[in-house]
Amino acid sequence: MMARSSTPAPVRLLGPAGHPLYPALLPIPIICFAGALITDLAYIASTEMMWLDFSSWLLLAGLIGGGLAGALLIIELIRSHNQRAFVPHLACLLAAWVTAVFNSFIHARDGWTAVVPTGLSLSIAATVLGVLAGWFWQSAYHRPAEIVR
């Protein structure tokens, strides 16, 4: 009887020329949603419309980056032998993305009502969900990776 190895098999990630794509795209929505939260707080402190515009642009960038990351994650889910490890990460990433979509609609309003109270609440929720998605990714895949060319 052979002894089983305690180390999991390496993850095979998609990527051109030895550079994995998904781990490079995952920080985009997390950083943009956190940036939108920071600019919402700056808007509340100053009521300068520039901060509201920054929040809207950061949400848009996060939605685009999150959409690309989500599409790659679905491809990785299809290719994966251990699909159960993807579920909490995918759920948090999807929840953050949907929350940010609603947040973008709220931020389309004019002035104070675009941020207070709903926009700020949704920015907090999207940021927390994005950070949780990143944490679940790191905890599930903090092991050697093999790049598929």
Per-residue pLDDT tens over the stretch 38-80: 999 999 999 999 999 999 999 999 999 999 999 998 988 888 7
For residue 81, the one-letter residue type is H
Helix (H, G, I), strand (E, B) or coil at 145: strand
Average pLDDT value for the chain: 87
* CA gap 3, 1 in Å, rounded: 7
Band the pLDDT of 123: cuts 50, 70, 90: very high
pLDDT over 90, % of the chain: 62
Contact indicator for 68, 38 with CB cutoff of 8 Å: no
d(CA 30, CA 62): 7
